[in-house]
Structure 1
């Protein structure tokens, strides 16, 4: 008889989310909050969620080995300092899509240098592809635990892809795990010409070697805005290879080794 799941879980995950703004981001958050609990029945972790960002404090965080930001980032000084301390003391983090967004001026200005410039290394958001489309992704680092079971290239779930202010290739602390393969071009369907990428280098998953962290640019489902139905046209966790990347990233984060 197997008692695999009778044991206490190897690690505990807490996912922070806001889920108030963009319908595509809300759709992703709801989907993540269905998918991760399902994965927790197979893999050795527990999954809790909170939309109260004041839970970013030392007492609350001490119960968890991995923190997820599903859509946004903390805004108050106390929340930000607690997160920074958690990460500097060996905590683990996974962020999706909009969690890295910053643009001055906007509702999410770049007013947190440690997070955007030092921790993520990407600086401000520069632009994105539109509409959300699948991309062919290339594995840049095939030795990492998050990627060592992936094929060299694979087709992702549809996503809105971001371009960043800083070139992550020039940052010695950043290990780019996946980037957009040139076979993806042209990427995006427009209608605006600048929403379609024809060339360039675009990292989509990376880690900062000074921290136990992984950022994934995925996290934007396709929504039927054009016909005003707001119907969900794509799902992020509908892609087997990409799911392997996400679960292996999480297991690496939960293993406690940098």
Structure 2
């Protein structure tokens, strides 16, 4: 004989079903949404980093319950597409088309978050990446044009300049960064009141680089590596260039950016802040 459910039993069960459905939906809801743009073209060192970073961010997204998407299609840099995200990442290059640049600038000025790595700040006239975006290079990043770099990619000891910023929360005074090529810039961002330097090269890193050209080795000086602009929710990292076996024409990786627990903590802290936090003065 089939079981007959009374009206009272049905009315008791239905709210429980709705409750469990709601709890599942809340569990699956992502805390924030991130989109990474990249080019991954020409320089194997940058391509290697992009592949590593995409894999690492995907793992972090699962672990910390945020969504992570990535794209090579820079035409997605428009208001409609960006409206789905709280944070944008430039993994290796920058946006070029005027309309797309305007969309990114408006996204940032309206409270969006941004992380940029290494080549994302590169600009040099003349080159394939001319210094033709004044707002981005001179106001937003504050660094101006690229001037020179160290060689080969080597690890560096980085000194935390500000322990009070959300990006550096829980970091020791000195962290050891993974090997990278390190950039020097046209402008001294210490003189820019809008820029807050978070980490710089510690003197124990010198000499930094191995050459073979002597001018590619830093022996002294002040070099900012990670910084933010107080007017935006953004963090730039001057690393993201793996060492590659160019000499033997194998293009094999000789170093990796991940894993590196302290560096990863810095990146993750920064991402959570730019995606969910308020601007820090």
TM-score range (shorter-chain normalised) is: over 0.9
1 or 2, which has the higher helix percentage? 2
What are the ranges of 5 or more consecutive residues in structure 1 without an aligned counterpart? none
Q: In structure 1, the residue corresponding to 2:40 is in which secondary structure?
A: coil
For 2:267 and 2:33, locate their aligned partners in 1 and report how far apart those are by CA, in whole Å: 16
Distance in 1 (CA, whole Å) between partners of 2:173 and 2:24 is 36
After TM superposition, give the deviation of residue 155 of structure 1 in Å. Answer: 1.1
- 1:133 Cα deviation (Å)? 0.1
Question: Is 1:136 aligned to residue 169 of structure 2?
Answer: no
Q: 2:234 aligns with which of 196, 203, 213?
A: 213
Give distance in 2, aligned partners of 1:138 and 1:88. 30
2:189 matches 1:168: yes
Residue in structure 1 matched with residue 148 of structure 2 by the alignment: 127
Deviations 1:222-242 (A, max 9, x none): 101111111101111121110
Once residues 184 and 11 of structure 1 are traced to their aligned partners in structure 2, the CA distance between those partners, rounded to angstroms, is 37
Q: 1:126–1:234: structure 2 CA closer, same or farther, 3 Å change rule?
A: same
Q: In structure 2, do the counterparts of structure 1 residues 58 and 151 end up closer, same or farther at CA, with 3 Å as the change threshold?
A: same
Larger displacement relative to structure 2 (233-242 or 60-69): 233-242
Deviates more, 1:156-165 or 1:224-233: 224-233
- Provide the secondary structure at the position in 2 that maps to 1:138: strand
RMSD across aligned positions (CA): 1.3
Instruction: Provide closer, same or farther for how the CA distance between residues 4 and 160 of structure 1 changes in structure 2, counting only shifts above 3 A.
Output: farther
Match of 2:62, SS state, is coil
Aligned pairs for 1:97-108 (under 5 A) are: 97-108=118-129
| Structure 2 counterpart of 1:194 | 215
Q: Per the alignment, in what secondary structure is the counterpart of residue 225 of structure 2?
A: strand
Tell me the distance in 1 between the aligned counterparts of 2:161 and 2:256: 25
Q: Which of structures 1 and 2 has the bigger CA Rg?
A: 2
1:103-118 map, 5 Å: 103-118=124-139
> What pairs up with 1:19-98 in 2 under 5 angstroms?
19-98=40-119
1:44, CA displacement in angstroms? 2.7
TM-score in terms of structure 2 length: 0.89
C-alpha distance in 2 between matches for 1:57 and 1:87: 12
Give the Cα separation in 2 of the matches to 1:28 and 1:81: 27
The CA distance in 1 between the partners of 2:83 and 2:26, in whole Å, is 23
| Cα offset, 1:154, TM superposition | 1.6
1: distance between equivalents of 2:188 and 2:258?
A: 28
Q: Which of 141, 156, 167 in structure 1 is aligned with 2:177? A: 156
* CA–CA distance in structure 1, aligned partners of residues 143 and 65 of structure 2: 32
How far did residue 6 of structure 1 move?
Answer: 2.1
Identify unmatched segments of 5+ residues in structure 2. Answer: 1-22
| Partners of 2:176 and 2:86 in 1: CA distance | 31
Q: Is 1:146 aligned to residue 167 of structure 2?
A: yes
Moved over 4 A (4+): 2-5
Query: Where does residue 3 of structure 2 map in the other structure?
Result: none
CA contact (8 A) 2:112 2:275 kept: no
Count of residues in correspondence between the two structures: 257
SS at match of 1:154: strand
